[in-house]
Amino acid sequence: MLNSRILDEIVREQLGVLLVDRGYVDAGRSIFVRIDESGHDCVALDPSPKKARFRVMIGHVPAYIYEYAHEYHGMGRADCGTPQQSPYLNPGGVSSKPCFWPYNTKEHLVRSLVSVQQAYLAAGEKRLTDLRDPATYAAEADPEALIPTALAWEAAGNVERATHYFTEMRDRYLRIHAEFEGLPTHPETWREFLFVMHKLGESTPLTCQIEELQASRTPSPAA
């Protein structure tokens, strides 16, 4: 069975050449990222060493999604996309269910990577181009990822849909407040809760309380 170092080397030699020629950079660990003003594209192998197989994730992260995810969740450029309904590259295109390519020997890995290259050329680049359209990206967003989906619909100009998902997230936080001793005792939730409430233009006694708590924990600027 191939170890991770050999896997990465062969991926770099086989698939990496194709992707680097198309503007990607090698981010390590069989992850390739292409950055421009609209956001970044990512192609990543996700190996299962025990089963000697991998799946391929492909995604586009719009700049406005990255800014939110980086600020509130520490997302890095090598993270392969925000939740999408069809994040996997397969021989037939992209889908919600992955294809697993074998890599138990070097010969199996090379054959698998040839198939991945063919799949990328046939469907991957078009997929990434399509996702740069805000309406397409919003329609493809995973509705369980409430804030990214809300931001996607906001960017697409659909205020009603954006408000729907921001409201869903607000209600999720209010359930946490009701069921788990209240948001004021969970400071890790404060910033994102306030972000959602500000997006909805809502100010409540709870919002004011959390703003005061957050301000009390913010260090004062040095004199």
pLDDT for the residue numbered 55 = 96
Q: Locate 200 and state its tokens.
A: 């909805």
Are residues 102 and 53 in contact, defined by beta-carbon separation less than 8 angstroms?
yes
Are residues 103 and 2 in contact, defined by beta-carbon separation less than 8 angstroms?
yes
Residue 127 lies in a domain: yes
In this structure, the answer to whether residues 122 and 168 fall within a common structural domain is no
- The C-alpha atoms of residue 30 and residue 197 are separated, in whole angstroms, by 39
In this structure, the answer to whether residues 50 and 124 fall within a common structural domain is yes
Q: What's the whole-model pTM score?
A: 0.89
Are residues 91 and 99 in contact, defined by beta-carbon separation less than 8 angstroms?
yes
Q: What range defines the domain where residue 178 resides?
A: 158-217
Residue 39 lies in a domain: yes
pLDDT tens-digit profile, the chain (223 residues): 788 899 999 999 999 999 999 999 999 999 999 999 999 999 999 999 999 999 999 999 999 999 998 898 888 776 766 678 889 999 989 999 999 999 999 999 999 999 999 999 999 999 999 999 999 999 999 999 999 999 999 999 999 999 999 999 999 999 988 987 788 888 888 999 999 999 999 999 999 999 999 998 866 555 4
**Containing H/E element for 211?**
helix 205-217
- The C-alpha atoms of residue 140 and residue 62 are separated, in whole angstroms, by 13
